[in-house]
Chains A and B, each alone.
Chain A
Amino acid sequence: MRGEHHSGPGRYLLVWGALMVLTVVTVFTGRMHLPQFGLLLALVIASVKGALVALYFMHLAEHKGANRLVFATSMLFVVLLLLFTLFDVGTRFLPTRPSGSLITNFPVETGQAGRYGGGLKSPGTNPK
């Protein structure tokens, strides 16, 4: 015996029910096409579902620390990869964006603070 907590069919059934309900919820909220927080809500629901699968179906909740460390590290690197690439794309100058791209409100061209551009200035206009 491995001397660990034995998760039984009851808990699996509960997790399965929660996953089914969350799937239906995410389909309904997805079909509403919420303009502002639709993506955030879908990602939160997906993360909750993913956490349920990892913790209970994959037994991460009852495994030893090293397994959790491996999983947490891979998640951290996924987030870093995503964030830094998006920082790059979000702060690019107009000519380096793909043609037809809808990211057009670069701060300098529009004369405003900018949603993604931060405090960047056009090339050649930086104070010496």
Chain B
Amino acid sequence: MQSSSVAGTPGAPHVPHVAAHFASREVQDHAARLGMWLFLATEILLFAGLFVCYANYRFAFPDAFAAASRELDLTMGTINTLVLITSSFTAAMAVHYAKEGQNKQVVWMFVLTILMALGFLVIKYFEYSHKFHVHQLPGPYYAYDKIQLPGVSMYFTIYFLSTGLHAFHVIIGMIVLGWVTLKAMRNEFNHSNYTAVELGSMYWHLVDLVWIFLFPMLYLI
């Protein structure tokens, strides 16, 4: 991000420099956002690979996928979806407060977001540990005796790959938001400098966006 500001006189608002190769602040901010969108496009295509995998195997083994998806805990999955959507809302509110220069509120919103992310991971841990316990595991490690259909281990392979990759993104998102929270604690953001808040929260919205599609795919067949 181009918007790093120098530690100026205390109390003076941070105004980011314009790098020499940009015509103006507006162009520089536009470039920062465009770069973020390009990165998010690659993230979408990364997850799309798993979606295609899922579509093919579900097409080949519809009954096994339906039976396996009913083994997932729908209550925990639904709570997790609502938690993630709410955390996306608080992340959006952080951008609003950053534009207004209310850094204390930005810190609060991001702390709430990170706490909800942590809650998401805790619920995910309970779901995972139950699956490990009953051996609903990927590929050759699948040893759940109540459902033995061709293709059912493929479902759990895709389940663990896609939710695992998503959980990894949740952890990265928590680190990114934590770093922006530290900047907000130093009172860095104001109406002319909030790119870090905006791009950090865009990453978090993408994590939410991916889960919005993973949830019906895996839990609601």
Question: Which residues of A come within 8 Å of B, CB atoms?
Answer: 1-3, 6-9, 12-13, 15-16, 19-20, 23, 26-27, 30-31, 33, 39, 42-43, 45-46, 49-50, 53-54, 56-59, 63-64, 66-67, 70-71, 73-75, 77-78, 81-82, 85-86, 89-90, 97-103
Identify which of B25-33, B123-131, B139-147, B178-186 touches chain A. Answer: B25-33
> What total of chain B residues lie within 8 Å of the partner, measured CB to CB?
59
What would 17 more interface pairs be, CB under 8 Å, given A23-B85, A27-B74?
A: A3-B26, A19-B85, A19-B88, A23-B78, A39-B221, A43-B216, A46-B213, A54-B205, A54-B209, A57-B91, A59-B95, A70-B41, A74-B42, A82-B55, A86-B55, A100-B61, A100-B149
Contact between chains at A58 and B202 (CB < 8 Å)? yes
Report if A16-B61 is in contact (Cβ < 8 Å); known contacts: A50-B213, A74-B41. Answer: no
Residue in A43, A77, A85 whose CB lies within 8 Å of B45: A77
Contacting pair A78 B48 (CB below 8 A): yes
Interface SS of B by simple majority: helix
From 19 to 77 in chain B, residues with beta carbon under 8 angstroms from any chain A beta carbon are 26, 29-30, 33-34, 37-38, 40-42, 44-45, 48-49, 51-52, 55-57, 59-63, 66, 74
Provide the main secondary structure of the chain A interface: helix
Least Cβ–Cβ distance between A104 and chain B, in angstroms: 10
Which parts of B199-221 form the interface with A (CB within 8 Å)? 201-202, 205-206, 208-209, 212-213, 215-217, 219-221
